[in-house]
Structures are given as C-alpha cells and as structure tokens.
Structure 1
C-alpha cells in the first residue's frame, strides 16, 4: 500500500508538472529525494512524506491554478479529483508555512477551514526541510540559501518576498529540528 501511494503520487505529479512546468517538476523530484533521506527518522510515515514531497507543488500546474495559490489549488485537486488521503492533502495544503502566505493573499480562513494543520510536528517539519533545502532545479541546498533565492527571484517587497521573510524564522527552526533528529539517528 505504501509503495502504491508513492508510485501514484509520482505519476500524478509528473502528469501535472512534467510537461508544462519542467523546472517545477525537477524541484518536486528533488524534494522527494530529500524525503527519502528521512526514512529512518519518520518510520511508518516515510511513504506519506515522500508522496507529499513530490506533490507539494502540484497546484502550480496551469490547469489547476484556480486561486493562484498553489497549496490551496493543489490540495483541492488532490481532495476533489483524486480523493487522496486526508493527511496527504493537509500536508500539501499547509507545506512550508503556507498559512502565512495565505494570510498575505486573504485566503487564510479558506485554507484553515478546508485543510486544518497536520498535528504531527515532525512530519510537518520534515516537509519544510525537504522543500526548503532543495533548489528550484532539484539540487540540495541550505535553508538560508533557499530563502535568499526565493527573495531574490520574487523581490523582497513582493507578496512572496514578504511571506518568505516573515516565515524564515519558522523555516529555520523547522529545518534545525529535522537536522537534530537526523543527527540523533545511529550511523
């Protein structure tokens, strides 16, 4: 069942992003590769994390971009079209502190009501770590470099720039918690 979830997630993400947004697809594959590094930390939830990692940006697909806010658009697609696992959908909806960006966009209430936060902090942090330590081209990076890249790409005063600067202390804290959990694993 867990391999089925991962395989379905990869196929779905590739179908939506592979042709229309190849760079976003490369990023999603890189995020999923990072998720594979956390198998020993997450145990039974490792497949769920890998599925959420490869699907986290599916809402960028042009045909899915109803609101223009990819976490919400992607989560609605996964829920409404695929009837995907609720925790998976909620992880996609809330990845990388999406509530803060939703607030900037006037969509916080919609996101909170439709997709409450996943309560497993390590799982939430793990998805942040995967996303925020992967470049747009799918290569590993540091969270500080990734935040700087996002600010540089969008501009410090843009909606995304304001969001990422506001979220950066939370992003860095989540990344630090995951890195502590990784370093605590036996080698």
Structure 2
C-alpha cells in the first residue's frame, strides 16, 4: 500500500500545483524529499508521511482555494473529491500547527471539528520538520531561517506573521524532537 499512496499523492499534487504554482511545487518536492529521509524513524507510517508531505500545500491551488486557508481547503478537497485516507487528510489539515493560524483566521472551530489533530506526536512532528526545514524553492534550511523567511515574506502584522510568531516555539520543539529521533537511529 505504501508505494500506491505515494504515487497517488504525487499524481494529485502534480496536477494541482506543478503548472499553476511552480515555486510552491518546488517547495512541495523538497518537503517530500525530506519526508523520504525521515521515513525510517516512522516505520510503517513512512509512506503516510511522504504522501502528507506531497499533499500538505495542495490547498494553495487556485481552483481549490475556497476559504483562503490552505490546510482547510486542501483537506476538504482530499476528503470530498478523493475520499482520501482519514489520517492523511488530518495530517494535511493540521500540518505545521495550522490550528494556531486557523485561530487567527477565525476558522479554528471549523478545522478542529472537521479534522481533529492526530494523536501520533512523532508523525505530526515529522511533517512539521519536513515543512519547516525546506525553503520555498525546495532547498534545505534550518527551522530558524525558515521562520525568519516566512515573517519577512508576509510581514509581522499579517495573519501569517502573527501565526508564525506564535507557532515558532512549537515548530522549533518539533524539529528538535525529530532531530533527536534521527540521531538515535542506528547507522
């Protein structure tokens, strides 16, 4: 099943992002590459992480942007159009502390009700790690530099700027936990 979900995720994300949002697609490809590298710490959930990494920003696709909040728009698309795996949809909906941004947008109750956060801390942390250590162009970066880039791009007074400032300590903690798990892996 692992390869099938990854192949399907790549097909869906390519169709929605590759032509319309090439820079977002480059980021997505980098996040997916990181997910493949991190996968061994997750065992049988490695393919789920790779699929979630591939689909995490699908809600940015112009034809899918209903609320303007990409985690919610993407998760609804995956649930409603593709009847995607519930765990996958919940990971996409909640990636990188989306509940905090949903709160800034007045959408917290919608997100939390429709897509409850998974009770799988390492899997959730792994997706945060992959997203927050990848630049908009798909290159590797530190979480600190990624947060600084997001703040610079959106501005501190924007919805995203306020969210990322609030989420930064949680992002850094997630990244540290994943780096510790990776360091503990036998070589």
**What TM-score comes out, normalization by structure 1 length?**
0.99
Structure 2: distance between partners of 1:100 and 1:88? 20
Q: Deviations over 1:124-174 (max 9, x none)?
A: 000000000000000000000000000000001111000000000000000
Identify the residue that residue 4 of structure 2 maps to in structure 1: 4
The SS at the match of 1:106 is: coil
Identify the residue that residue 53 of structure 2 maps to in structure 1: 53
Structure 1: distance between partners of 2:77 and 2:50? 18
Structure 2: distance between partners of 1:64 and 1:40? 32
- Structure 1: runs of 5+ lacking an equivalent: none
Q: Does 1:139 align with 2:129?
A: no
Identify the residue that residue 100 of structure 1 maps to in structure 2: 100
Identify the residue that residue 178 of structure 1 maps to in structure 2: 178
Identify the residue that residue 28 of structure 2 maps to in structure 1: 28
Aligned 1:33-112 pairs, distance under 5 A: 33-112=33-112
Following TM superposition, by how much is the alpha carbon of 1:66 offset from its aligned partner in structure 2, in angstroms?
A: 0.2
Following TM superposition, by how much is the alpha carbon of 1:106 offset from its aligned partner in structure 2, in angstroms?
A: 0.1
Please report the RMSD computed on the Cα atoms of aligned residues, expressed in angstroms.
Answer: 0.4
Aligned residue-pair number: 187
Following TM superposition, by how much is the alpha carbon of 1:38 offset from its aligned partner in structure 2, in angstroms?
A: 1.2
Following TM superposition, by how much is the alpha carbon of 1:40 offset from its aligned partner in structure 2, in angstroms?
A: 1.5
- Structure 2: runs of 5+ lacking an equivalent: none
Structure 1: distance between partners of 2:163 and 2:27? 20
Structure 2: distance between partners of 1:89 and 1:105? 20
Identify the residue that residue 18 of structure 2 maps to in structure 1: 18
Following TM superposition, by how much is the alpha carbon of 1:39 offset from its aligned partner in structure 2, in angstroms?
A: 2.1
> Runs of at least 4 residues of structure 1 off by over 2 A?
none
**What TM-score comes out, normalization by structure 2 length?**
0.99
Structure 2: distance between partners of 1:179 and 1:148? 20
Task: Report if aligned partners of 2:39, 2:50 keep a CA contact under 8 Å in 1.
Answer: no
Structure 2: distance between partners of 1:141 and 1:11? 26
